[in-house]
Structure 1
Amino acid sequence: RLARSGRKVTVLFPGNPYAFSNGSEVADRLERAGIDFEAVPGLIVELAAPVMSGIPLTIEGLSASIGFGLVTGGETVVLRLASGWWESGISALLQNGRPPETPAALILNPGQPGQHRVSAPLSELARKAATYGLRGDALLVLGPGVDMSERLDTLSKRPLHGRRILITRARHQVDPFRRELVDLGAAVVEIPTLEIRRLPIDDRVRNAIKNLDRTALVIFASANAVDIFFQMLTTSDLDARTLHNSKLCAIGQETADALAGHGLRPELVTSEYTAEGLANALEGWEMKGMRVLVPRAEVARDALPSLLANRGAEVEILPVYSAVCPAEATPALLRLFDGDGVDVITFTSSSTVVNFVQAFPEDRLPAILGDAEIACMGPVTADSARKLGLEVSIVAREYTTHGLVQAISEATARK
């Protein structure tokens, strides 16, 4: 239907669309319906996963042929084994004449970022895999290339290899965080528990913008506040020049980076994500009579305006966005933790924590989360998590997603 209407449609298959999938059936139906299509060849997992594990399938002078399945020929053999059938598959190969000392490897989660390899002589492989407590579908690879895997396997040497990490951050802010985790070998699961919604431009917003030429200091509490405030300026046919009379303060480096994206450099960037920390950073500033504007979330702590007002400042809090929990977050989280769960749960703000916790029955939360570690981007978020009954084990010293990735990597290295 979509293709007939002129849309371009992509159908994704694991590996190759014409191997171990129903891609040929889909292609046949499209051809019969008179719809143009193109089949793009892919790499089947039997060929891809060994490469990701550092196992060459052919080696000049040692292995020139590849067999798939329970074959008697082939100097290298690749065999899919379902969970619970490892020992049967290995026994069948031995009974078919494979020498017990044949170099062999089991690859768990083949083709995935969290794939794991166990290597041993064929006759010892099942016992070694059982020692590690491994389970699930796997690829069995045997042949001389297995002996090279320790040297050629770069994937398993990444610091977060095999770690399943949950990102709860708002979807539009995920990309740099996800890329850095994946580059370090993590298997990333994204379930945003936060959605940023811009509030309408009402009289309060219009008055705040109108009075910017008399505003001495604008304090941005988050990158979201920066981006949405500038959207409001653009909608009002204004731009950054409207702030020419104002000094700018950014709470955290990510907020400062957001301002830089609009061509602005703040006079002050605080490293602490607390009202008290900001007040201390402004200690040398004469605040009496100063007009201060704070664009921020609709719901936030009121400590900052109180602290600044106590020093004589005229503080206006300007809510520019609301932070809500996406409707799909709760069922997605329940499915995740009913299944394999994750090793690390990351929180980048108090809102992500609150919305996450609300997805689960309070009395069952510890049992549901199991051994998953809680990692927070700074002490304020960590404090919110602890108040909600979560045991926080990782807190970033640098309050950015890069700092959070570093903290997770350091914690993993200590294990």
Structure 2
Amino acid sequence: MAKGFVALVGAGPGEVGLLTLRGKEYIEKADVVVYDRLVSPEILDLIPKGTKKIDVGKHSGNHKVPQEEINNILLKEAKEGNMVVRLKGGDPFLFGRGGEELELLFENNIPFEVVPGITSAISVPSYAGIPVTHRDFCSSVHIITGHQKKNEELKINYKALCEAGGTLVFLMGVASLKEIMDGLIKAGMDKDTPAAIIENGTCPNQRMVAGTIENLYERATVEEIKSPSVIVVGEVCKLADKYNWFNKRPLFGKKIIVTRPKESGNELSTKLKELGCKVYDYPCIEIQEMTDNQILKNEINCISSYSWMVFTSKNGVDAFFKYLLKENMDFRVLKDIKIAAVGLKTAQSLKERGITADFVPDVFDGENLAKGLLERTKKWEKVLLVRALRGTEEIPNILSEGGIVFKDIPIYNTLFKNENAQHMQELIEQNEIDLVTFTSGSTVEAFVKSMPKVDLSRVTGICIGEKTALKAKEYGIRHFVSDEATVASMISKILEVCNEKSRNMWKRDKAKKAEGK
């Protein structure tokens, strides 16, 4: 059997955007991924289906898989001829025991590569607005492990650190926070030296507690700061209030469930994450393309008899052109036919394939699409409607009432899914979710049916249009409707709703304080 290969990949501090391109490349072509606890779920989602995943995560004081066994797992998988990725939080060579994992591979002549990761020692302070070096404050940074073996004291030369005069960054030091702060004070550091501890750095639930080396432990204890956290000591901590860009993003701290299918939900999820919120992707519907479509094949063979072809979603466009490719055809079959699209997203999907829609309604919904077609279609012209299997009856009804001859062809089906429904239900019951986004009536229906025991009074929805809102109303879901049926408009509505919620919370807090005086 061919000898395998091991890539030792640093996954960075948690934020998926901080994973290196080289690391992503290896993850996507791996046969086996051996990963740690600190690798974020978003990065684990990059692992392709069918790839073998081995969780060897370690918690403080609890080694799920001993280091020696991890080393043997890498060797065993490589000897079987696999391309193995050892995925480690941060950088594999900075307190990551990466060097130990390579020893056994080297001894057994297994080829390997090390892909550096962005270390939390630099990135986490950056996300908290703390530059670890600054010309006005310091000219050096020192990275120290705060981890110790059980029942042993830390082996830190506090006196040398005090004399060095630079910024001190302690990793894996939550359990030793008091010992570290006391050690610095005893070694002669001014007790008023600024210090900060940052929990879950670079992630949407990032928290920071600031103070001095004298009071940081007490403040962190009150706030119940937990691992993973990074401790920073030095004058640069004073800059956090001014430079803390991460926590100042408009949706920081908000938690939103996105129900769109994975194929179409990325844009909404990505933009929400950029605005600072924690996104729970819950694709409760799945698009199933109907590739063996004899009815469509028959209509394509006589496509010249139609004057209009109508697309009611991006999914329909995608499915139609995949069908053409499967049949060794392309957009030239539409050369003598006018194209209508329900909205800008659908029109953009057509444009990407070299087709400019002849008609897009000003209001992006089925009613306005159908009424616009009535104005543009002569009585003798035929319309081919390409859409979902169980599409709304609104468009066919309006076309029929207007005397338009049309054919309604299903090209994809919408299936309901309930993967991870239990977790979503628990989050809702614990009041952990601020909003749920709905981009169609089917996402509302799938969401409700996937968790029949959920208390819908705890759900606040953001609906992309009035038709989606009607479905939310049918189930008694409190909701808001975007002004337009676009992702951009949905995000504007989310910002508006969240700002209003924040103002109301501020008013309530202010009233409580006044009441207590």
| 1:175-186 matched pairs, under 5 angstroms | 175-186=266-277
2 CA distance for matches of 1:373 and 1:82?
39
Report the alpha carbon displacement of residue 269 of structure 1 after superposing the two structures with TM.
0.8
| 1:56-95 matched pairs, under 5 angstroms | 56-60=131-135, 62-63=137-138, 64-66=140-142, 68=144, 69=146, 72=158, 73-74=161-162, 75=165, 76-79=167-170, 88=178, 92=182
| 1:261-300 matched pairs, under 5 angstroms | 261-300=352-391
Question: Of 471, 474, 495, which aligns to 1:387?
Answer: 474
Aligned pair 1:375/2:462, yes or no? yes
Secondary structure of residue in 1 paired with 2:396: helix
Aligned pair 1:40/2:115, yes or no? yes
Question: Is residue 55–residue 145 contact of structure 1 (8 Å, CA) maintained in 2?
Answer: yes
Question: Is residue 287–residue 308 contact of structure 1 (8 Å, CA) maintained in 2?
Answer: no
Task: Give the total of aligned pairs.
Answer: 408
Secondary structure of residue in 1 paired with 2:87: coil
State the match for 2:455 in structure 1.
Answer: 365
2 CA distance for matches of 1:30 and 1:66?
31
State the match for 1:166 in structure 2.
Answer: 257
Aligned pair 1:215/2:291, yes or no? no
Question: Is residue 90–residue 126 contact of structure 1 (8 Å, CA) maintained in 2?
Answer: no
Query: Which structure has more RCO (C-alpha within 8 Å, separation ≥ 6)?
Result: 1
Question: Is residue 81–residue 89 contact of structure 1 (8 Å, CA) maintained in 2?
Answer: no
1 CA distance for matches of 2:491 and 2:407?
35
Question: Is residue 340–residue 359 contact of structure 2 (8 Å, CA) maintained in 1?
Answer: yes
State the match for 1:410 in structure 2.
Answer: 496
Unaligned stretches of 5+ residues in structure 2: 5-30, 32-77, 147-153, 503-517
Aligned pair 1:239/2:330, yes or no? yes
Closer/same/farther in 2, CA of residues 134 and 203 from structure 1, 3 Å limit:
same
- Post-superposition Cα deviations, 1:158-198, rounded to whole Å, max 9, x if no partner, equal 22233333332222223333332333233333232222111
Question: Is residue 286–residue 416 contact of structure 2 (8 Å, CA) maintained in 1?
Answer: yes
In the alignment, residue 158 of structure 1 is paired with which amino acid?
Answer: R
In the alignment, residue 294 of structure 1 is paired with which amino acid?
Answer: L
2 CA distance for matches of 1:408 and 1:258?
25
Question: Is residue 334–residue 359 contact of structure 1 (8 Å, CA) maintained in 2?
Answer: no
State the match for 2:38 in structure 1.
Answer: none
Closer/same/farther in 2, CA of residues 86 and 275 from structure 1, 3 Å limit:
farther
More moved, 16-25 vs 353-362: 16-25
Secondary structure of residue in 1 paired with 2:309: strand
Q: CA RMSD in A?
A: 3.3
State the match for 2:344 in structure 1.
Answer: 253
Report the alpha carbon displacement of residue 102 of structure 1 after superposing the two structures with TM.
2.7
2 CA distance for matches of 1:328 and 1:45?
32
In the alignment, residue 285 of structure 1 is paired with which amino acid?
Answer: R
In the alignment, residue 35 of structure 1 is paired with which amino acid?
Answer: I
- Post-superposition Cα deviations, 1:320-348, rounded to whole Å, max 9, x if no partner, equal 01111346343564576688954432222
| 1:273-352 matched pairs, under 5 angstroms | 273-326=364-417, 328-330=419-421, 333=424, 341-352=432-443
State the match for 2:483 in structure 1.
Answer: 397
In the alignment, residue 242 of structure 2 is paired with which amino acid?
Answer: R
Secondary structure of residue in 2 paired with 1:255: helix
TM-score relative to the length of structure 2:
0.69
Question: Is residue 343–residue 365 contact of structure 2 (8 Å, CA) maintained in 1?
Answer: no
Closer/same/farther in 2, CA of residues 384 and 247 from structure 1, 3 Å limit:
same
Closer/same/farther in 2, CA of residues 382 and 23 from structure 1, 3 Å limit:
farther
Report the alpha carbon displacement of residue 109 of structure 1 after superposing the two structures with TM.
1.6
Question: Is residue 57–residue 66 contact of structure 1 (8 Å, CA) maintained in 2?
Answer: no
In the alignment, residue 378 of structure 1 is paired with which amino acid?
Answer: G
Closer/same/farther in 2, CA of residues 243 and 59 from structure 1, 3 Å limit:
closer
2 CA distance for matches of 1:37 and 1:242?
51
Question: Of 173, 194, 207, which aligns to 2:285?
Answer: 194
Report the alpha carbon displacement of residue 350 of structure 1 after superposing the two structures with TM.
2.1
Closer/same/farther in 2, CA of residues 130 and 271 from structure 1, 3 Å limit:
farther
More moved, 87-96 vs 281-290: 87-96
Report the alpha carbon displacement of residue 281 of structure 1 after superposing the two structures with TM.
2.9
Report the alpha carbon displacement of residue 16 of structure 1 after superposing the two structures with TM.
1.7
Question: Is residue 191–residue 332 contact of structure 1 (8 Å, CA) maintained in 2?
Answer: no
